[in-house]
A and B are shown apart, each in its own frame.
Chain A
Amino acid sequence: MAEPLFSVRGLKVALPDMARKPLIGRAPKIEILKGLDFGLPRESVTGIVGESGSGKSTLGRALVRLIEPTGGTVNFDGRDITHLPERELKPLRRNLQMIFQDPMSSLNPRRTIGAIIAAPLKQNGMGDDLKDRIAQALKRVGLPEGFAARYRHELSGGQRQRVGIARVLALSPTFVLADEIVSGLDVSTQAQILTLLEKLADEMGLTVAFISHDLSVVRRLCRQVIVMREGVIVEAGQTDALFADPQESYTRDLIAAIPLPVFDPHWLDR
């Protein structure tokens, strides 16, 4: 088996705790990630689940190096990127992409959709044939070419998230971090966006870290799962095996708390 795209050893991240910051002086550090070991296999979707405050978003941000880890190592495609300075990270950025949770706030309201998709292409030296690339990116996510001339506010929530995906995939990245990308959407729109992501990840051979609080979604979409709680990995493994036989009581509790769309008046009393 090929070596994983990401190999992470003893990953620690500490961030300033603004709630305890004195009026003058530095905020004390609080440890968010407390030494994580895991790998992300190539061309595969890995789910990262946990409740709010478990550190799953911080973990994602450390992977794409929006945050510099305070301890441990992050190996990306055989290269240690843990403390790589921004100058050396720049050529790698094209392959370390991120789809955001809220397309409303991550798409510039004053630029056309076409310009929004073009900006990262230009930054990453893919500024040739822009028009074609934009048209192709829109087509890939099932939007008509004419959308390039529209603005954010003219789109529905689902269409906006399609643009978010199009912008990232136009770069043909190796790795995509998807952080709660459907949490603001309706169930029917959520289903469309997730089946689209599933199809594109498969076609383009993407490696995806899919951060979600929804275990049902992860069950459907991800081959592997990492369950987090309070900055540590509680349990990790193949999705099928983990759902069939969760080893940790925390994982069992998380699964049991999901309200399935099946009539059950006694579920609340269990």
Chain B
Amino acid sequence: MSGCLDIKGLSAVLPNGARVLRSVSLTVQPGEVRALVGESGAGKSMIGKALLGVLPPIVRIVDGSIALEGVDLGGLSPKKRRTMIGEKTALIPQDPLTALNPSRRVGPQMTDRLTKILGWESARADARIRQLLDEVRIRDPDRVMRAYPHELSGGMRQRVLIAAAFAAEPRLIVADEPTTALDVTVQKQILRLIADMQRERGTAILFITHDLGVVAKISQNVSVLYAGKVVEEADTEALFAAPGHAYTKALMLATPSYTDPLASLKPVDEAVLAGLASEIALADRDWDALHG
């Protein structure tokens, strides 16, 4: 059975031959929230960008496939692929301030996607955005749509982008560290909002984060990424009950926790890093055998 998103054996390199993704496979079922967790440089955002078709030009995919609802994106013409990605997916970015154009009002930026990419009439797009702003609990949609990004608070801007992401009823949303820049209390509100809207509509979410605390609260399944390789995959409950990979366990012990402070903030053990290095070397040997 095919999922909402199926990534199979995805490998990517930089021009100097450095490997950024090492045969990554992951599936997101309809209505599922899958967390993609890893440290900076692990390739989390690269996977999100690959499936949204916005990889930086220097990153070259050398192997593997990405399918949305069973349709292999590699088999489509560039134009068809863009349309398909535009219709079925959306992005909630990390930093709403850089994602929004500072010199344009918020409203037109939100309707743009609907009118310009999906060809909606502007009245319909306008009505939909208003409805979504109401859903993300923005009490004064008219004021917000007329506002410039800097006139809104961080939490408010993130609400605006969540509304925009859900506006065209995508099947899959890539949420790329959507709460990293927010205070804890606002983070909780935003996470809850994303979860509520996702459950109501059955939208699948690929939730990219470095925070295992967030993973534990929002996802049903997890893929742990290290150096562009999925080192562990599990359902969230099982992962936190008994992490299978030494690296996952080390990440958990490094994560601060106020309930058990002395057992938290432990630096990752040298032995774990050495184990990871040999695992990556092994993966690279398989790669070389395959690609010569």
A and B held together in a complex? yes
Residues of A within 8 A of B (CB): 51-52, 157, 186-192, 194-195, 213-217, 219-221, 243, 253-255, 257-265, 267-269
Shortest beta-carbon distance, A68 to chain B, in Å?
28
B120 at the interface (CB under 8 A from A): no
Residues of A within 8 A of B216 (CB): 259-264
Most buried by A among B239, B241, B258, B266: B258
Cβ distance A125 to chain B, nearest Cβ, rounded Å: 36
19 A-B interface contacts by CB (under 8 A): A51-B186, A52-B183, A186-B40, A187-B212, A188-B251, A194-B265, A195-B266, A216-B258, A220-B265, A255-B258, A257-B184, A258-B213, A259-B217, A260-B258, A261-B257, A264-B216, A265-B217, A268-B218, A269-B192
- Whether the pair B265, A217 counts as a contact (CB closer than 8 A) is yes
Q: Shortest distance in angstroms between B275's beta carbon and chain A's nearest beta carbon?
A: 14
B247 — nearest CB in chain A belongs to which residue?
Answer: A188
Interchain nearest-CB distance for A212 vs B (Å) = 10
Neighbour of B184 across the interface among A258, A261, A263, A268, CB < 8 A: A258
**In whole angstroms, what is the CA distance A263 to B35 when docked?**
13
CB distance from B175 to the nearest CB of A (A): 14
Query: Beyond A264-B216, A269-B192, is A217–B250 a contact (Cβ under 8 Å)?
Result: no
In the docked arrangement, what's the CA distance between A153 and B278, Å? 27
Name the interface size band of chain B: 35 or more
Which chain B residues have a beta carbon within 8 Å of chain A's beta carbons?
A: 39-40, 154, 183-188, 191-192, 195, 210-218, 220, 236-237, 239-241, 250-252, 254-259, 261-262, 264-268
Give the Cβ gap from A230 to chain B, nearest Cβ, in Å.
13
Q: Which residues of A contact B186 (CB under 8 A)?
A: 51
With A188-B39, A259-B217, A262-B216 already in contact, the answer to whether A216 and B264 are too (CB < 8 A) is: yes
Q: What is the CA–CA distance of A219 and B255 in the complex, to the nearest angstrom?
A: 13
CB distance from B152 to the nearest CB of A (A): 13
